[in-house]
């Protein structure tokens, strides 16, 4: 029997990463899951998943991850699923530049660094899959999420460019664009707004209070939310299809958003979007 294919999945302490690491392990992949906090290693290891600590904002942890995985696999890295990220809410005018920088350190520069580091291993074997967990907000921006929108738009720009540049190398890049998925994302966004945005002194104070009520669960429930298994389903296609798609939209709101953006005049589209939470 041939050796199982190997994949690095980041951000596996919760949500999409935690689900996909376990699901791909069951699908027969050799999964290298990463977590940011050492205390999150044990739960994944208990399920038989090789787990390493990596924080995208710490260069030395990215270097150590790639060195360790390549050493354990003899240089075989078949796939990378960049997934670990967070959302920094806040109106654009209220975003301190350092807070925007932090958002990019994790969601963009860390992903870029890890992607660059795995490509030589894939080139050496003439094949590979790089899958970026972007977001519908990488294509359709929502209000009060400027930092996150910008980070995911950056991932879209880098991802599609890389896909074209790798044409003919046997390495494919795909972007997954989920709409709302049930994970710890909202709770983590709530913590980020509390840590970094001066809500009381903002011109947007009233709107923040409404949004905070939604984030802490006391607002209306989004009936279109899906579970992380919806992401796993398209991830499998991106990993297994002979020619994986550049974009995978997940959830009805994500598909509707892209369709409306194509069909409507821009001003009308953004006026409609203004009403969306
Ligand atoms: N949930 C949604 O509605 C939704 C929609 C569209 C796209 N997405 C995307 O889906 C991906 C996974 O998010 P999720 O929904 O599963 O949220 P989640 O449950 O909050 O998981 C996020 C993961 O990213 C990790 N992470 C945060 N900062 C990191 C850093 N500096 N370095 C490495 N890992 C870091 C977190 O680790 P800690 O536990 O240590 O913080 C956690 O493991 C993200 O890329 C997100 O943008 C989510």
Q: Choose between 232 and 217: higher pLDDT.
A: 232
Q: Residue 40: count other Cβ atoms within 10 Å of its Cβ.
A: 18
- From the number of C-beta atoms within 10 Å of its C-beta (0-12, 13-18, 19+), residue 22 rates as buried
Best CATH choice for the domain 6-183+222-273 from the list 3.40.50.620, 3.40.50.720, 1.10.8.60, 1.10.1040.10: 3.40.50.720
From the list 148, 208, 248, 270, the catalytic residue is 148
Kindly report, residue by residue over 128-173, the tens digit of the pLDDT.
Answer: 999 999 999 999 999 999 999 999 999 999 999 999 999 999 999 9
Q: What value does the mean pLDDT take over residues 244-269? A: 97
Ligand 1 touching residue 117 (CB < 6 A)? no
pTM: 0.97
Counting ligand 1 atoms within 8 A of each CB, the residue from 10, 12, 15, 258 with the most, and so the one to mutate, is 15
The gap from C-alpha 222 to its chain's centroid, in whole angstroms, comes to 20
User: Strand ranges (DSSP E) for the chain?
Assistant: 6-9, 30-35, 50-53, 79-82, 128-133, 171-178, 247-250
Question: What is the distance in A from the centroid of ligand 1 to the CA of 265?
Answer: 33
Closest listed residue to residue 138, CA positions, set 261, 272, 12: 261
Ligand 1 touching residue 94 (CB < 6 A)? no
Residue-level pLDDT at 216: 73
Question: What is the distance in A from the centroid of ligand 1 to the CA of 263?
Answer: 31
End-to-end CA distance of the chain: 50
117 pLDDT band (50/70/90 cuts)?
very high
Domain boundaries, the chain: 6-183+222-273
Site of tokens 């959302």: 87
Residue-level pLDDT at 198: 95
Atom of ligand 1 nearest to the CA of 188: 20
Instruction: Please state the φ and ψ torsions of residue 85, each to the nearest 5 degrees.
Output: -170, 175
Query: Is 148 designated active site?
Result: yes
Ligand 1 touching residue 85 (CB < 6 A)? yes
- pLDDT score of 106 more than 70: yes
Q: What value does the mean pLDDT take over residues 27-51? A: 98
């Amino acid at each position: 029997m041939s050796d199982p294919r190997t994949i690095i999945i980041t951000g596996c302490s919760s949500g999409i990463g935690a689900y996909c690491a376990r699901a791909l392990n069951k699908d027969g992949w050799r999964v290298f899951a990463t977590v940011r906090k050492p205390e999150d290693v044990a739960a994944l290891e208990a399920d038989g998943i090789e787990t390493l600590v990596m924080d995208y904002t710490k260069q030395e942890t990215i270097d150590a991850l790639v060195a360790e995985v390549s050493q354990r696999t003899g240089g075989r890295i078949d796939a990378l699923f960049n997934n670990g990220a967070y959302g920094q809410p806040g109106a654009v005018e209220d975003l301190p530049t350092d807070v925007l920088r932090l958002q990019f350190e994790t969601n963009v520069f860390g992903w870029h660094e890890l992607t660059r580091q795995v490509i030589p291993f894939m080139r050496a074997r003439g094949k590979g899959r790089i899958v970026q967990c972007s977001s519908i907000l990488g294509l359709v921006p929502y209000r009060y999420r400027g930092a996150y929108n910008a980070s995911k738009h950056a991932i879209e720009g880098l991802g599609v460019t890389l896909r074209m540049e790798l044409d003919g190398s046997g390495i494919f890049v795909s972007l997954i664009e989920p709409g709302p998925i049930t994970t710890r994302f909202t709770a983590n966004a709530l913590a980020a707004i509390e840590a970094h945005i001066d809500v009381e002194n903002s011109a947007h104070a009233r709107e923040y209070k409404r949004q905070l009520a939604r984030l802490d669960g006391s607002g209306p429930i989004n009936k279109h939310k899906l579970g992380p298994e919806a992401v796993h389903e398209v991830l499998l296609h991106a990993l297994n299809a002979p020619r994986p798609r550049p974009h995978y939209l997940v959830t009805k709101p994500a598909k509707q958003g892209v369709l409306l953006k194509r069909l409507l005049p821009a001003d009308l589209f953004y006026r409609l979007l203004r009403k969306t939470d």
